[in-house]
Chains A and B, each alone.
Chain A
Amino acid sequence: MTLVVEARSVSKTFGRAGEAVSALAGIDLEMSQGDFISLIGPSGCGKSTLLRLIADLAKPTGGELSVNGKTPERARTDRDYGMVFQSATLLDWRTVTKNVELPLEIMDVGGSERARRAEEMLKLVQLGQFADHFPWQLSGGMQQRVAIARALAFSPALLLMDEPFGALDEMTRELMQQEVLRLWGETGTSVVFVTHSIPEAVFLSTRVLVMTPRPGTISHEIAIDLPSRRDNETRKNPRYFELITEVRDALRSHD
């Protein structure tokens, strides 16, 4: 079975030779279908850059990177992944339904099929009754759920999430984490999740990759061996706290 993401000593430098800044160096990564991987680290550790390389929004300077067994560019043009940013980035002039339909329009999916997919996706993120609202009529959490519905609308094999809940309050954030886990379970998509919240990374992931800055490298890889069914009980599980401590120690070992 092909790996969803495979990186071999991937590096990324910004700027010209002489004054170049190394953002990523020696990144090795193997991600299988169904994995939920979190990238965690302090600001500037290159976690978002790594995500952008996978999404082909930036090109690696060195090493080999493949997505679904193809070059990232090929994976992008094949629409193999869906992307969710920190800001929902919904189009203000489109209703919720029309926002979810946007990628399908670009992919030349027919009108009735688009409507059917959008309805299904909105039901999945439990926003069915807000289909005809405009984005700015919704709360931040609801907007982010629309963004997730939009990213999943064309059933991509991979979901890339760049600090998607960074702007939400703690309560909404926990609800959204539950929501993402449910969607992950129901759709079978693989997820790469960028965050700087330790509890969030532990609660969501099958694996947490701890990154350190200058240059950005993966310093620790922590398998999360919590029960696969995760809910509020998980947040009280002693193993949950142990893993949080483990990630925190990994992050601190470089200070």
Chain B
Amino acid sequence: MTSPASPSQIGRAVRAGFSILAVIGGFILLWETYKLAWGALDWSWPVRPDNRTMPHSWDVVVALFQPAQRRGPILLLVELRAALFTLWEAFVGFLMGGAVGFGLGVLFVRSQTAERAFMPYVVGSQTVPILAIAPMVVVWGGRVDLPQWFIVSIIAAYLTFFPVAINTLRGLRSPQRTALELMTSYAASPREALWKLRVPSALPYIFTALKVSAAASVIGAIVGELPAGFRGGLGRDLLQFSQQFTAAPEKMFAAVIVAGLAGITFVGAVTLVEHRVVVAARRQSGEIGRAAA
């Protein structure tokens, strides 16, 4: 089933690549047409088409390939390195948050009392803005000498665990009543019912949450870098470029594009794992079709 890429898989990948390029091309076309048309008509609503507000797409590309600082490496390399750093923080936070979220889901499905006791706080935690949480974590983490990147990971984990917890719980409760009774008829222990029935049933739900969490963990990591101005990641660069926005807007756009790519890469990686692990995902994508039965 996991044989090397078949012609149909290569074809699918090529088509996917083309559609991505087409969307990017279409977006650039819209962007430049807007600038041209609004400029010619002298309109300024909703966005002024001047080069300070909306730099030319090629200027953004050029900015990516110019040194970020005099005699330094080009901006693209600087930002890619920063993105890797931030992705690492996000990934560690994603793992921690995912584990906590999964644990909470399992705890809640095992014990209604625990669900009633803790669920309000789990939900409540998400109404507190990350911008309020981040400085507290930075201060507390600094007191116990945690490495800076790990403090950022904790902040990323804070954004990650909630969707995983909610979806895990939902997924663990998804098996039909008869499937649970089947396990009872085998005199299966709760642990066996959990690992052989509930968790596999929950996997499609969990992966949906993990994709949301992957994107959220990147945001969490970027925001987490801000309050103490931690160096090395995308957060500080984005902050710096936003301050220089009126002078060099294309740098900001370039950094935003790299940050977006980082998020897409992470979500894409989770999707790849999902395809390996979840049969239903392979079924949906048509990788395993209906057999001649």
Q: Measuring CB to CB, which residues of chain A are less than 8 angstroms from any residue of chain B?
A: 55-57, 76-79, 81-83, 85, 87, 89, 91-93, 102-103, 105-107, 130, 133-134, 136-139, 142
Contact = CB atoms under 8 A, between A and B. Distances in A.
Nearest to B181: A57
B187 A139 contact: no
Contacts, number: 66
Contact of A91 (B179, B185, B288): B179
Contact of A137 (B176, B186, B291): B291
A194 B139 CA distance: 67
A106 B283 contact: no
Interface of B: 176, 178-179, 181-188, 192, 196-197, 200, 203, 278-280, 283, 288-291, 293
A134 B182 CA distance: 19
A136 B282 CA distance: 13
B275 to A, nearest CB: 13
What are the nearest 7 A-B pairs in CB distance? A93-B279, A137-B291, A77-B187, A83-B185, A85-B178, A89-B178, A106-B186
Given A89-B176, A106-B192, A76 B293 contact: no
20 contacts: A57-B184, A79-B187, A82-B185, A83-B181, A85-B178, A85-B182, A89-B178, A89-B182, A91-B197, A92-B279, A93-B200, A103-B186, A105-B196, A106-B186, A106-B187, A134-B288, A136-B290, A137-B288, A137-B290, A137-B293
B253 to A, nearest CB: 44
Per DSSP, chain A at the interface is loop
A101 to B, nearest CB: 11
Most buried by A among B176, B179, B187, B283: B187
A102 B185 contact: no
B199 to A, nearest CB: 10
A76 B184 contact: yes
Contacts of B291: 130, 133, 137-138
Nearest to B188: A106
A134 B289 CA distance: 10
B293 A130 contact: yes
Given A106-B196, A142-B293, A134 B179 contact: no
Given A130-B293, A134-B283, A134-B288, A83 B182 contact: yes
